[in-house]
């Protein structure tokens, strides 16, 4: 990998199509702009299509808006059915540390949106993909655990950061397990994970507690820009030599900021037994089976 890889290093993407979930703001919006700037057609797959329309108009005609609500599996199925072919899927959307809520299908909102929605979307699009899947995790995965018996907090007390950290660990484990299964099936598709470090986006500030003020200060004082935070997912999505099955994040102090590089992850994230069980559970909960 070149040192100090930036969006200027993105190869010509003319003729290629990307789907970016949650591209109406934050990292997704930055990624969509950069990809269109490199010649790609980008589908902004968003729940809030009004916001996405505004963003798409500012990007140009190669930015296309489609409705996708990851917290509603019927919406995920409808969106996937509307796609003919796509080169790269970027599972970028997410919610963070929100008050307890349930998805349309009854899942805990963070696990349901961040993990299960993207799991189902990837499975439904698998036969239409030509190049790779990039799934966004977070440095917070290191504090996460997968509770296979109660992933949706039906029996244990809900704790917003515990739920977020579980969902981000699930994202990373899914990316790794997807690559293992693609490799086993002899598929040329690649699966990578990425994280933005500490980037200032609209993701922070939804806790509805005093933490929102602390996060707002952190965004101003500590965080890197969304433009920098989007570089790992852009590298993972476009670099011809981006290594399959790896995790891409910033190269700076504790992975909080900097330029994209291959980074490590926790021992838990590499637990293949738990990953396989999480996969089975995700297929059961979503009703989506991957046809490799």
What pLDDT band is residue 205 in, cutting at 50, 70 and 90?
very low
pLDDT, residue 76, reads 98
Question: Which is catalytic among the residues 164, 198, 235, 247?
Answer: 164
C-alpha 134/C-alpha 136 separation (Å) is 7
Q: How far is CA 42 from the centre of its chain?
A: 16
DSSP code, position 253: G
Q: Is the pLDDT of residue 219 over 60?
A: no
pLDDT-derived band of residue 204, with 50, 70 and 90 as boundaries?
A: very low
Task: Give the Å distances, CA to CA, from 144 to 1, 7, 217, 267.
Answer: 29, 31, 24, 11
Tokens 């030509």 -> residue = 130
Q: Measured in whole angstroms, how far is the alpha carbon of residue 103 from the centre of its chain? A: 18
Q: What is the pLDDT of residues 121-133, one digit of tens each?
A: 999 999 999 999 9
Annotated catalytic, 164?
Answer: yes
Could you tell me the pTM of the whole model?
0.92
Q: Which region holds residue 97: left if phi is over 0, alpha if psi is between -120 and 50, else beta?
A: left
Residue 115: pLDDT above 70?
yes
What domains are there in the chain, each with its CATH number? 7-285 (3.40.50.720)
Contacts of 101 (CB under 8 A, 6+ apart): 108, 109
End-to-end, the C-alpha distance of the chain in Å comes to 30
pLDDT per residue as tens digits for the range 136-177: 999 999 999 999 999 999 999 999 999 999 999 999 999 999
- Tokens coding 46: 């968003």
């Amino acid at each position: 990998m070149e040192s100090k890889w930036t969006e200027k290093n993105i190869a010509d993407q003319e003729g290629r199509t990307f789907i970016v979930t949650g591209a109406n703001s934050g990292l997704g919006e930055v990624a969509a702009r950069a990809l269109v700037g490199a010649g790609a057609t980008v589908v902004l797959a968003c729940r809030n299509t009004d916001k996405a329309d505004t963003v798409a108009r500012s990007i140009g005609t190669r930015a296309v808006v489609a409705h996708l609500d990851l917290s509603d599996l019927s919406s995920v199925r409808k969106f996937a059915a509307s796609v003919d072919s796509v080169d790269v899927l970027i599972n970028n959307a997410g919610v963070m540390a929100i008050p307890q809520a349930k998805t349309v299908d009854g899942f805990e909102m963070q696990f349901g949106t961040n993990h299960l929605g993207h799991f189902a979307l990837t499975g439904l699009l698998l036969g239409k993909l030509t190049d790779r899947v990039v799934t966004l995790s977070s440095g917070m995965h290191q504090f996460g655990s997968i509770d296979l018996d109660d992933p949706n907090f039906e029996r244990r007390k809900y704790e917003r950061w515990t739920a977020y950290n579980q969902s981000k660990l699930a994202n990373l484990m899914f990316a790794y397990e997807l690559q293992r299964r693609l490799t086993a099936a002899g598929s040329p598709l690649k699966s990578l994970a990425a994280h933005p470090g500490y980037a200032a986006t609209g993701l922070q500030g939804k806790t509805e507690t005093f933490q929102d003020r602390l996060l707002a200060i952190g965004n101003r004082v500590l965080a890197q820009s969304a433009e920098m935070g989007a570089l790992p997912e852009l590298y993972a999505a476009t670099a011809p030599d981006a290594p399959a099955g790896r995790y891409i994040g910033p190269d700076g102090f504790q992975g909080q900021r900097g330029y994209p590089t291959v980074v490590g992850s926790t021992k838990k994230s590499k637990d293949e037994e738990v990953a396989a069980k999480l996969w089975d559970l995700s297929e059961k909960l979503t009703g989506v089976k991957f046809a490799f």
